Amino acid sequence: MSDAPLLSVENLAVAFKAGGKDVLAVDHISFDIKHGETVALVGESGSGKSVSALSVLKLLPYPAASHPSGRILFEGEDLLDHDERDLMRVRGNEISMIFQEPMTSLNPLHTIEKQIAEVLKLHQGMDDASARARVLELLNQVGIREPEKRLGSYPHQLSGGQRQRVMIAMSLANEPRLLIADEPTTALDVTVQAQILELLDRLKTQHKMSMLFITHDLGIVRKIADRVCVMTGGKIVESGPTREIFENPQHDYTRHLLAAEPKGKPPRGDASAATVMKGEQVKVWFPIKEGFFRKVVDHVKAVDGIDVTVKAGQTLGVVGESGSGKTTLGLALSRMISSQGAITFEDKRIDGYSFKDMRPLRSQLQIVFQDPYGSLSPRMSISEIIEEGMAIHFPDLNRAERDARVVSVLKEVGLEPESRHRYPHEFSGGQRQRIAIARAMVLNPRFVMLDEPTSALDMSVQAQVVDLLRDLQKRHDLAYLFISHDLKVVRALANDVVVMRNGRVVEYGPADQIFENPQTDYTRALIAAAFNIETAPAGVVSQ
């Protein structure tokens, strides 16, 4: 092959119109992708990495977006000069793209076969029979088991990992020269992430493709990329071969990113600490009803007889793949959904309490949700959000006292108290999660359920949130139930760990013991996927 790069981005700038002014989202970047090479664009959210990738195929919302300067040369042709018709020849044919969210990038109303075949018929003019054969071949390649049975499936019948595989099959259908993958694994479990990355790597070599890989996770970069471009604030601050960047980072920002993995260990658990929350044989069964009279024929056993104990000042980590019942267990313990089995909170049996009975206890039993973008009402200011619970649980406080508490809790979670009259959309993901934590902390809880509080955040922000949580726990002697699929984060926080699968406990013990000496294949697979991004043998974890 010649030395000329397959894709060459020269001095590219992207500007967005906002309030009559042009704001530069990408600030004159240049990079090359050679034949058969994987280049990773790394940066935190808002660094302009996705915008750069989208402008390669001119997929930005024009005319709100514009390119003040730059050229994008694909095999010598400038794509920015192409009109829509020329671009349609390139899109999905020579360059194809995989998006972050497999849930929304497939059309929910069409079968898998129809969606993949559409690409084939459009670009290659295949007839039904040959398209079907090719679809089967593609599904085989991306590792979908029993592809014949899957042809007629709709996207909602597939798991997240399977959907992403279908997306990959679609993007491979026309044997593209370049594959752009925009955070293809961020929405997936760690175990599935490892499988997808392995698949992408294999297919790349098999089809002699080049790949532009966009991610915020340096662990993935180290695993998959030949060269790295580190982006921040719309600029590429450092680029080079992966080994060099990891071993000898030159720029401060790169060093900051490399240092930003969740680290540290939880404080040593005190075995004599008081038990705050105890669940015995907790069961959450959802009935499956059938027939005209809606007879209950079976149950979905989301949580099937689990014993847990959470002690003051300590963290119980709950880990497992998605669908294993982690969140359901947490919601049952905090009495947000009904369940069977005894739940004891500070020596009170609360499993028989009604919603009204629970109200006085709510202040001591708090929840922090996964998605900081969804958990804050966009129509309320920060101080209104934080005050909402106080108005219910501390009705005696007057306005000034409430405000004083808001100020102090914002300081505690590391936010400027002056920002309390602003609205959630003005804050970044990490700041929003801090606000959500402040909302829980202002009520002086004893027990906090943390439902994947870090998985929607950038890697470097995850580390900060973990540090904050650990700090708050030490200061207020809090009991945490920490739910996550990411064992890296769990190791940094948890004293004890429950490993769940299909609503049952696979392993339960002190964190050290689980991480050093896992007893089951399933736990070993979770650990390998989280720490080394390695896949497990077939059948141990779900696809």
Partner 1 sequence: MSDTAVSSRDTTAPGKRPFLSPLNQRRWQNFKANKRGYWSLWLFLVLFIVSLFAEFVANDKPLLVSYKGEILAPVLVDYPEEKFGGFLAVTDYRDPVIQDEIQSNGWMIWPPVRYNYRTVNREIPQAAPAKPSWLYTPEERCKQYTEGVNDPNCNMGNWNWLGTDDQARDVLARVIYGFRISVLFGLSLTFFSAILGVSAGAVQGYFGGWVDLLFQRFIEIWSSIPVLFLILIIASVLPPGFWILLGIMLMFSWVSFVGVVRAEFLRARNFEYVNAARALGVSNRTIMFRHLLPNAMVATLTFLPFILNSSITSLTSLDFLGLGLPPGSASLGELLAQGKENLQAPWLGFTGFVVISLMLSLLIFVGEATRDAFDPRKTFR
Asked if 443 is part of the footprint of partner 1 (rule: CB under 8 A), the reply reads yes
Convert 272-315 into a string of H (helix), E (strand) and C (coil). Answer: CCCEEEEEEEEEEEEEEEECCCCEEEEEEEEEEEEEEEEECCCE
- The minimum distance between CB 180 and partner 1, in angstroms, equals 25
Q: Is the bond into 155 cis (omega within 30 degrees of 0)?
A: no
Asked if 417 is part of the footprint of partner 1 (rule: CB under 8 A), the reply reads no
Asked if 156 is part of the footprint of partner 1 (rule: CB under 8 A), the reply reads no
Return the residue of 3, 421, 537, 539 that touches partner 1, per CB under 8 A: 421
CA dist list (Å): 335 to 209, 332, 356, 388:
51, 5, 12, 20
- The minimum distance between CB 395 and partner 1, in angstroms, equals 12
Return the residue of 377, 408, 519, 532 that touches partner 1, per CB under 8 A: 377
Q: How deeply is 399 buried, as exposed, middle or buried, from its count of CB atoms within 10 A (0-12, 13-18, 19+)?
A: exposed
Residue 17 or 202: which CB sits closer to partner 1?
17
Binding mask 322-361 for partner 1 (x = CB under 8 A): ------------x-x---------------------xxx-
Asked if 376 is part of the footprint of partner 1 (rule: CB under 8 A), the reply reads yes
Return the residue of 75, 198, 371, 534 that touches partner 1, per CB under 8 A: 371
- The minimum distance between CB 106 and partner 1, in angstroms, equals 21
Residue 157 or 377: which CB sits closer to partner 1?
377
Q: Give SS3 for 132.
A: helix
Please give the distance of CA 419 from its chain centroid, rounded to a whole number: 27
Q: In whole angstroms, what is the distance from residue 260 CA to residue 461 CA?
A: 8
Task: Give the residue from 122, 106, 103, 105 showing the smallest Cα distance to 173.
Answer: 122
Full DSSP string of 67-107: -SS-EEEETTEEGGG--HHHHHHHBTTTEEEE-S-HHHHS-
Q: CB within 8 A of 39, min separation 6: which ones?
A: 31, 32, 33, 210, 211, 212, 213, 225, 226, 227, 228, 229
Using CB under 8 A, which of the segments 71-79, 150-158, 216-224, 381-389 binds partner 1? 381-389
Asked if 423 is part of the footprint of partner 1 (rule: CB under 8 A), the reply reads yes
Asked if 444 is part of the footprint of partner 1 (rule: CB under 8 A), the reply reads no
- The minimum distance between CB 148 and partner 1, in angstroms, equals 36
Q: In whole angstroms, what is the distance from residue 254 CA to residue 267 CA?
A: 29
Binding mask 476-515 for partner 1 (x = CB under 8 A): ----------------------------------------
Using CB under 8 A, which of the segments 28-36, 371-379, 508-516, 524-532 binds partner 1? 371-379
Return the residue of 148, 281, 374, 411 that touches partner 1, per CB under 8 A: 374
> Torsions phi, psi of 226, nearest 5?
-85, -40
User: Could you say which residues in the range 310-329 bind partner 1, by CB under 8 A?
Assistant: none
- The minimum distance between CB 375 and partner 1, in angstroms, equals 4
Residue 149 or 425: which CB sits closer to partner 1?
425
3-state helix, strand, coil in the chain (%, to 5): 40, 25, 35
Residue 340 or 381: which CB sits closer to partner 1?
381
Q: Give SS3 for 401.
A: helix
Q: Contact residues for partner 1 (CB under 8 A)?
A: 17-18, 61, 64, 334, 336, 358-360, 362-363, 365-367, 369-371, 374-381, 384, 388-389, 392-393, 421, 423, 436, 439, 443
